[in-house]
Amino acid sequence: MPSAPPPLTPLRLLTGLARPHAGRLALGSLLFLFAGGASMSGLWIVGRIIDEGFIARDAGAFALWLGLMALAVTVQPTFWVLGFRLFNTADAAGQRAIVRRLTDHLNTAGTGVRGRVSAGELVNLPSEDMRKAAHTVTELGFVANNLAMFLIGSALVWSIHPLLGVIIIAGSGATALVAGPLLKRLQRRQADYRDMIGGLTAQAADIVGGLRVLRGIGGDLLFTDRYREQSTALRDRGYAVANSSSWIHALRHSMPIVFVAVITWVGALLAVDGALTIGGLASAFSFATIFIAVSGNFIISANYLVASWVAAGRLTRFLAIATDVDDDGTLRGGIGELRDPDSGLVVPESGLTVLVTAETAPAAEACERLARHRDSEAVWDGRPLESYALADVRERIMLLTDEDHLFEATLGETLRVGPDAALAAIETACAADVYTGLGGTFDGRVAEGGRNLSGGQRQRLRLARALAAAPQTLLAVEPTSAVDSHTESLIADRVSAARASLSTLVVTASPLWLAHADRVVWMVEGKVHATGSHAELLADPAYRRLASPREFMARKLRQGGETA
């Protein structure tokens, strides 16, 4: 066995995403560095133009510095967008890599993810979380760009006058010191606020989802009031957030202006003393102005990076979910009787077995064990089912339930066999209306979850798909519960004929299936209670109550008579 890779951490995930683009990112950082340098030099050049061009009244120097400025203003946008493109391309590739990885992980983890992640998370992981995690590289690029602007800008201001340099660096530090704690407070409030928005959105979704009930039976006023109450609470919470965030925005906006004022003041006094040129004063003023953006950007980037880290953590946790069905078996070519020691259920090598029970859930669980959708002591052909290769088990034993998913695909792709076999399966499952309803062609599209089909059509299409796969053993749980009696009778007839040489187990109490059963298993509270033919079992009154239409109806008629 190959040595196990080290466990995935958010950091490993993110570096793993960045590694294939190391060259791209290095070049991008360099470009951002140059762009930041060019942007800062432009402001410095403004000072030189004023001093050496304007004040010295030197047209030659004016032209020279202007030429350099023109160069800087052409270089800066060029380098910046080239860097932007490199970082964003790595970002886009990261998105692709995450979606691929999630896809592959879903395939290997299989049913292991069920119950471990909610439906909402499953939507968020490949959208919001994916976007945020992949965005890390771009945000780091912006940090590099701002850092370059900050360092080069500070150095240039320092060169104009050290005192101004000290003020600008101290000013940025002070901004961060004041804004940092405020930002934390804001984030806390915002987190509560976001949660409340989520709650309110869920409430709206609930109202829309149950609209039919609310309109049809009542409760619309109740739910409007509930929603309005929550909405008002959210608004008030929003007011609290507004208190913090207005401080932060004002500070972010005003702190740099305070330093612009301080620099103007100090610079003007220096200029009066002749220690600073007028051009130097104008440059320093412009630098201070631009630092508004830089110090603000650091705070924004920090926010984004925290969000990226959290998203990467969620992705990592999801990618760590292991499969719930181990594939350690090696045996192949299994055939013969299936046995589930837990319930005592036995499915013979061929023929139609009907499992009659008052409680479907434990019967379905027994079928899941026999189809190896959960690990168990089940036995196949005298050997533990777990000792067989999973692929072999999947090929020969198939479970069919109403939980089976219909994916967005053409009808042909859904049935997964050639047209002849597909038509035969459709015929057996009495699903011709699905075929004609989708346009009478195998290219007709089945919507995700079969949403464009009725409940009965979905059920028959799932049955047709299972029949088309023609597994050695088919374990079907209530395969015709949403089908009318007439059609159910036809299906029972056709399925038992089509699969005569194969093995089929149907969990149902329908007399229409029982009429075709080779063998009936009667399960009580999850354990096999008796086995025999339908006729034999009818001798037991408890069984009769469950599976005999006459008894069932007689009881109903009695009840009806009492109430009438």
Q: Taking the mean position of all CA atoms in its chain, how far away is CA 119? A: 8
Burial of 234 (0-12, 13-18, 19+ CB in 10 A): middle
Question: Considering the rule CB under 8 A, would residue 117 count as an interface residue with other proteins?
Answer: yes
Distances (CA, A) of 518 to 353, 504, 521: 6, 10, 10
Question: Considering the rule CB under 8 A, would residue 132 count as an interface residue with other proteins?
Answer: no
Closer residue to other proteins, CB minimum distance, 158 or 193: 193
- How far is Cα 495 from Cα 316, in angstroms, rounded to an integer? 46
Q: Where are the alpha helices (DSSP H) in 110-129?
A: 119-124
Sign of CA dihedral 282, 284, 285, 291: positive
Question: Considering the rule CB under 8 A, would residue 533 count as an interface residue with other proteins?
Answer: no
Q: Which of these, 172, 119, 101, 135, lies nearest to 18 by C-alpha position?
A: 135
**Smallest separation (angstroms) from other proteins to the CB of 76:** 7
CB atoms within 10 A of CB 554: 13
Q: Taking the mean position of all CA atoms in its chain, how far away is CA 553? A: 49
CB atoms within 10 A of CB 307: 19
Closer residue to other proteins, CB minimum distance, 184 or 556: 556
Strands 503-507 and 473-477: parallel
**Smallest separation (angstroms) from other proteins to the CB of 207:** 6
CA distance between the termini of the chain: 73
Which residues from 71-90 bind other proteins, rule CB under 8 A? 72-74, 76-78, 80-81, 84-85, 88-89
**Smallest separation (angstroms) from other proteins to the CB of 302:** 18
Burial of 51 (0-12, 13-18, 19+ CB in 10 A): buried
β-strand partners of 12: none
Which residues from 458-477 bind other proteins, rule CB under 8 A? 465, 469
Q: Which of these, 280, 255, 27, lies nearest to 161 by C-alpha position?
A: 280
| Count of helix runs (H) and strand runs (E) in the chain | 20, 12
Closer residue to other proteins, CB minimum distance, 66 or 498: 66
Question: Considering the rule CB under 8 A, would residue 316 count as an interface residue with other proteins?
Answer: no
- Report helix, strand or coil for 214: helix
- Report helix, strand or coil for 243: helix
- Both tokens of 10, joined, read 């958010």
Which residues from 336-355 bind other proteins, rule CB under 8 A? none
Question: Considering the rule CB under 8 A, would residue 37 count as an interface residue with other proteins?
Answer: no
Burial of 75 (0-12, 13-18, 19+ CB in 10 A): middle
**Smallest separation (angstroms) from other proteins to the CB of 359:** 6
Out of 30, 182, 231, 304, the residue judged to bind other proteins by CB under 8 A: 231
Closer residue to other proteins, CB minimum distance, 421 or 482: 482
The residue range among 18-26, 161-169, 303-311, 443-451 that interacts with other proteins, by the rule CB under 8 A, is: 443-451
Question: Considering the rule CB under 8 A, would residue 219 count as an interface residue with other proteins?
Answer: yes
Sign of CA dihedral 367, 372, 375, 379: positive
The residue range among 6-14, 308-316, 483-491, 496-504 that interacts with other proteins, by the rule CB under 8 A, is: 483-491
Site string for other proteins, 144-183 (x = CB under 8 A): ----------------------------------------
Out of 140, 143, 371, 424, the residue judged to bind other proteins by CB under 8 A: 371
Out of 12, 27, 30, 62, the residue judged to bind other proteins by CB under 8 A: 62
Closer residue to other proteins, CB minimum distance, 511 or 526: 511
Which residues from 402-441 bind other proteins, rule CB under 8 A? 403-405, 407-408, 413, 416, 433, 437
Which residues from 89-108 bind other proteins, rule CB under 8 A? 89, 91-93, 95-97, 99-100, 102-104, 106-107
Which residues from 373-392 bind other proteins, rule CB under 8 A? 373, 391
Out of 184, 188, 383, 555, the residue judged to bind other proteins by CB under 8 A: 555
Closer residue to other proteins, CB minimum distance, 84 or 339: 84
Which residues from 251-280 bind other proteins, rule CB under 8 A? 253-254, 257-258, 260-261, 264-265, 268-269, 271-272, 278
Site string for other proteins, 489-528 (x = CB under 8 A): x------------------xxxxx-xx-------------
What is the helix (H) or strand (E) element at residue 516, kind and residue range?
Answer: none
What is the helix (H) or strand (E) element at residue 302, kind and residue range?
Answer: helix 278-319
Out of 177, 212, 333, 501, the residue judged to bind other proteins by CB under 8 A: 212
- How far is Cα 92 from Cα 87, in angstroms, rounded to an integer? 9
**Smallest separation (angstroms) from other proteins to the CB of 265:** 4
Out of 151, 182, 200, 389, the residue judged to bind other proteins by CB under 8 A: 200
Scored b (16 or more CB within 10 A) or e, 278-290 reads ebbbbbbbbbbee
The residue range among 14-22, 303-311, 525-533, 545-553 that interacts with other proteins, by the rule CB under 8 A, is: 545-553
CB atoms within 10 A of CB 464: 27
**Phi, psi dihedrals of residue 344, rounded to the nearest 5°:** 85, 10
Closer residue to other proteins, CB minimum distance, 33 or 49: 49
The answer to whether the beta carbons of residues 489 and 440 sit under 8 Å apart is no
Closer residue to other proteins, CB minimum distance, 6 or 484: 484
Out of 15, 224, 436, 441, the residue judged to bind other proteins by CB under 8 A: 224
The residue range among 13-21, 140-148, 381-389, 444-452 that interacts with other proteins, by the rule CB under 8 A, is: 444-452
Closer residue to other proteins, CB minimum distance, 456 or 479: 456
Concatenating the DSSP letter of every residue in 442-496 gives TTPEEPGGGTTS-HHHHHHHHHHHHHHH--SEEEEESTTTTS-HHHHHHHHHHHH
Closer residue to other proteins, CB minimum distance, 215 or 383: 215
